[in-house]
Structure 1
Amino acid sequence: MTRVAKYHVVLVGVAVLLLLLSLVRVVTGYDDITSSGTFAAALLLAVPIGLAGLGGLWAERAGVVNIGLEGMMVLGTWFAGWAGYQWGAVAALVAGLLGGALGGLLHAIATVTFGVDHIISGVAINLLGPGVTRFLSEVLYKEGTPAAEAGAGITTSPAITSPPPRPSLPLLSDGPDLLGRLENTHWFLLSDLAGMLRGVTHNVNLLVLLAVLLLPLTYFVLWHTSFGLRLRSAGENPWAAESLGVNVYLIKYVAVVISGAFAGLGGVFLVFVSTKYVEGQTAGRGFIGLAAMIFGNWRPGGLAGAAALFGYADGLQLRSSGAVTSFFLFGAVLLLIYLGLRVRRLLASGQPAEMVTTGARQYTAMAAAAVGMVVLFWLWLTVDQLPNEFVFITPHVLTLIVLLVASQRLRMPKADGVSYRRGEQH
């Protein structure tokens, strides 16, 4: 399939998803499914996940597994809160980047220089991050310090001074609120599109714009520059890259430090949203970001889609717990479309007998999809309200399901997680 054809498939897929969301909204009566409030919340929730996943992508494309993203995000949040209350938003941004990069540097020293197992080093970073920040809070935010007088506590920093502005994008949300008026009409598809556009363009945090720009920038650097080629070669076959004169150690160091900086930037975003550092505010987003990166097949476009999916699921359960039941109907319709495409491909092949003998796995997948469709449709008809405990864990369950489904087509870098030593090819 050519690149143009792939883009067409993606565009058609997005159009189908939009139609399905609008249809589900009309059938279920839950306007929050496509409301501007839901999509604004989804955007805020997706950005830190996407930034953490982007950090994981840089490290793993260079061959270093980075499950320490959560700890690096924690370092980013603390340093952003500490610098932000003293010197403002710009200082918070710089300090958060440096805090995350410091965690990345520690990970690089352990894995690249000393050859520590990547998983062990990542777990250590995840334990070290919260421990170090708690120690720093107890030292710098204790009673009698200027920070404590400014409102700090052991688990929180003072509010940052001069928070960043939240502009609306021109021609869409500035001036008369045309999108808001169109959203309130509740017309099929048109009001849904208006709500989505208004949610992602009205009062946008400047860090959201930066995060969105980092995705195409990462794609350009990694896939269209000589530096990116060297970095990806270090993750595919570092010994072949070494034979061509690439300094693999340096490339891995740079990639992992950038990875930590991106994770720290995700922590800065959380501080900007809450206007201060709060202990535990990352809430596992580093791990979900890692899952989004894997679901995205170690590519920026797939990562963006996965982060948007997780952010939307989280935003919807925050806005309307009842609307979460609409996922049953949405999933049933998606499985129906999947079955239709499979049957169409089967009939078009003209060789059903051959497929029975050689494609048993395909029939098993179709049978499982049919059963899943019936179960989801039955749940939508019978379940009026999910218990709060199930609503709360919806994003995490969705993470597991997506990873299980996507695991059949994933291709990680060949040398990802492999211990590299110059001249000692495995």
Structure 2
Amino acid sequence: MSTADLATRPPAGASPAAHAPRRSRLRVAGFVAAFFVVLCTVRVLTGADELTSSGTLSIALVATMPIALAGLGGLWAERAGVVNIGLEGMMIMGTLGAGYFGYHYGVTIGVLGAVALGAVGGALHALATVVFGVDHIVSGVAINIIAAGVSGFLAEAWFSGLSGGGPTQSPPLPKPATIDIAFISDPANRLEDKGWFLLSDLASVVEMFTKNLSVLVVLGLLLIVGSWWVLWRTRFGLRLRSCGEAPAAAESLGVDVYRYKIVAVVVSGALAGLGGALLAMVSSSGFQVGQTNNRGYIGLAAMIFGNWRPGGMFMGSTLFGYTQALPFRQGPTSVHALLLLVAILLLAVGVLQLVRGHRRRAIGALVFAVVFLVWFLVTDTVPSDFTQMAPYVTTLLVLALASQRLRMPAADGLIYRKGSAG
């Protein structure tokens, strides 16, 4: 048997398992469609039009992408068997790189600088965990602490005295180019203004992708799709994933496990650095100390919610980005409408668990559904503090609901030594 055997796939129709990925994708698409229909229904029932407006969706997409890129970085590392808690620090380095190189050399060099500094963080994590066998969590936490300190020190050294800058922030940075397709977005905007059920909501989605769309956001979306193709449709990806499932078996077939792990972790850091560039150049006007605001950790949570797959990871990131963006539109009013949405979703989860025979889980979901429904009926708004908490509460809810069917790579987080038995 040779390494080529690792890339061998069973012929079409060979077994029911061969169709499992397709069924999984269809199931995810069905869930997304059902969720969107429920969201449209809540918009009509509550009159909170900002729930699906193109403005809200555009802000949500911009808020989603840094989280999704951090989550994608975590996915690359963990599919190779390396836990990357240091995503937050690598994203911090990305924001710093975008601030310095973007200000002095323009958008393109700024993005490349952010990717390079993120990759340096990934290389340090790979050196510690893969080469020297340091515990993955310890190494990741150390990188986060180091990155926070280095960014604060270098920000003061680089940006103090510059016009518009200061010891904790860079001057305003140039913005990446945007995509505007007026002959599509203008009719979509007119249809959105009609307020029709589902049709106007779909028009909002079309307008989101055709009006003032940053090329960095498009790049992030392409990287998510490209990562799926590379990791699940190429020989390289199969070998890399084998390092996270059974590294000893992969080594016995001639796979250079160390090399694949190092490459995966460096790519992980580069992706997190790109997420930092998006934060500094698209989400805000420039670099600021602390602007990642724990998005690296949220990206890691989104990756776990997505069961270590790009599509599910992006769905989890979108939930966080959407709840983060919504208060910017109608504030507590829109978040109040989310109470009804959460009640409906929990009701659906409870019924599904009941059908599957999980009575205890079903009762828990139904009880919380009643609580959220009563909360929605007896109030008109929600406290501003809860509005700020909504993204984090959403993250906890989705992780709790998804935790029953998760399966991490078998060798994820384990220290590997060449020639070992596991």
TM-score by length of 2: 0.92
Report the residue type matching 2:192 in the other structure. Answer: E
1:18 Cα deviation from its structure 2 partner: 1.9
Q: 1:61 aligns with which of 53, 69, 79?
A: 79
Distance 1:401 1:366 in 2: 15
- Summarize the alignment of residues 22-101 of structure 1 with structure 2, pairs less than 5 Å apart: 22-101=40-119
Distance 1:335 1:136 in 2: 47
Distance 1:331 1:82 in 2: 42
Q: Is the 8 A contact 2:351 2:362 kept in 1?
A: no
Report the residue type matching 1:29 in the other structure. Answer: G
Distance 1:59 1:5 in 2: 26
Q: Is the 8 A contact 2:182 2:211 kept in 1?
A: no
Distance 2:301 2:256 in 1: 29
Q: 1:381 aligns with which of 373, 377, 380?
A: 377
Paired position in structure 2 for 1:168:
180
1:391 Cα deviation from its structure 2 partner: 0.6
Provide the aligned C-alpha RMSD in A: 1.6
More displaced 10-residue stretch of structure 1: 257-266 or 122-131: 122-131
Distance 1:277 1:319 in 2: 24
Q: In the alignment, does 2:192 pair up with 1:158?
A: no
Q: 1:275 aligns with which of 285, 296, 309?
A: 285
Q: Is the 8 A contact 1:39 1:200 kept in 2?
A: no
Paired position in structure 1 for 2:10:
none
1:84 Cα deviation from its structure 2 partner: 0.8
Paired position in structure 1 for 2:313:
303
Report the residue type matching 1:132 in the other structure. Answer: V
Secondary structure of residue in 1 paired with 2:125: helix
Distance 1:401 1:14 in 2: 17
Q: Which runs of 5+ in 2 are unaligned?
A: 1-15
Q: Is the 8 A contact 1:86 1:160 kept in 2?
A: no
Distance 1:142 1:26 in 2: 50
Paired position in structure 2 for 1:408:
404
Q: In the alignment, does 2:326 pair up with 1:330?
A: no
User: Cα deviations across residues 66-97 of structure 1 (Å, max 9, x unaligned)?
Assistant: 01101000000101110111110011011000
Q: Is the 8 A contact 1:239 1:423 kept in 2?
A: yes
User: Cα deviations across residues 18-71 of structure 1 (Å, max 9, x unaligned)?
Assistant: 221111011111111111111011000000000000000000000000011010
User: Cα deviations across residues 388-413 of structure 1 (Å, max 9, x unaligned)?
Assistant: 11110110111111111111110000
Paired position in structure 1 for 2:12:
none
1:213 Cα deviation from its structure 2 partner: 0.6
Q: In the alignment, does 2:122 pair up with 1:104?
A: yes
Report the residue type matching 1:244 in the other structure. Answer: L
- Summarize the alignment of residues 125-164 of structure 1 with structure 2, pairs less than 5 Å apart: 125-143=143-161, 148=162, 150-161=163-174, 163-164=175-176
Secondary structure of residue in 1 paired with 2:327: helix
User: Cα deviations across residues 343-371 of structure 1 (Å, max 9, x unaligned)?
Assistant: 5x47xxxxxxxxxxxx5xx1112211221
Paired position in structure 2 for 1:399:
395
Distance 2:308 2:82 in 1: 13
More displaced 10-residue stretch of structure 1: 92-101 or 216-225: 216-225
Q: In the alignment, does 2:204 pair up with 1:184?
A: no
- Summarize the alignment of residues 240-319 of structure 1 with structure 2, pairs less than 5 Å apart: 240-273=249-282, 274-319=284-329
1:8 Cα deviation from its structure 2 partner: 3.4
Report the residue type matching 1:40 in the other structure. Answer: S
TM-score by length of 1: 0.91
1:339 Cα deviation from its structure 2 partner: 4.1
Q: Which runs of 5+ in 1 are unaligned?
A: 347-358
Q: Is the 8 A contact 1:49 1:289 kept in 2?
A: yes
Secondary structure of residue in 2 paired with 1:407: helix
Report the residue type matching 2:256 in the other structure. Answer: N
Distance 1:201 1:291 in 2: 30
1:171 Cα deviation from its structure 2 partner: 5.2
Question: Percent same amino acid among aligned pairs?
Answer: 50
Paired position in structure 1 for 2:244:
235
Distance 1:212 1:107 in 2: 26
User: Cα deviations across residues 193-229 of structure 1 (Å, max 9, x unaligned)?
Assistant: 2123212331000011111111111011111111111
Q: 1:341 to 1:400 in 2, by over 3 A?
A: closer
Q: 1:12 to 1:171 in 2, by over 3 A?
A: farther
Report the residue type matching 2:373 in the other structure. Answer: F
Distance 1:232 1:257 in 2: 15
Q: Is the 8 A contact 2:118 2:271 kept in 1?
A: yes
Secondary structure of residue in 1 paired with 2:288: coil
Secondary structure of residue in 2 paired with 1:290: helix
Paired position in structure 2 for 1:355:
none
Report the residue type matching 1:137 in the other structure. Answer: A
Q: Is the 8 A contact 1:314 1:395 kept in 2?
A: yes
Report the residue type matching 2:197 in the other structure. Answer: F
1:341 Cα deviation from its structure 2 partner: 4.3
More displaced 10-residue stretch of structure 1: 94-103 or 309-318: 309-318
Paired position in structure 1 for 2:4:
none
Q: 1:214 to 1:34 in 2, by over 3 A?
A: same
Report the residue type matching 1:155 in the other structure. Answer: T
Distance 1:11 1:230 in 2: 28
- Summarize the alignment of residues 344-359 of structure 1 with structure 2, pairs less than 5 Å apart: 345=355, 359=357
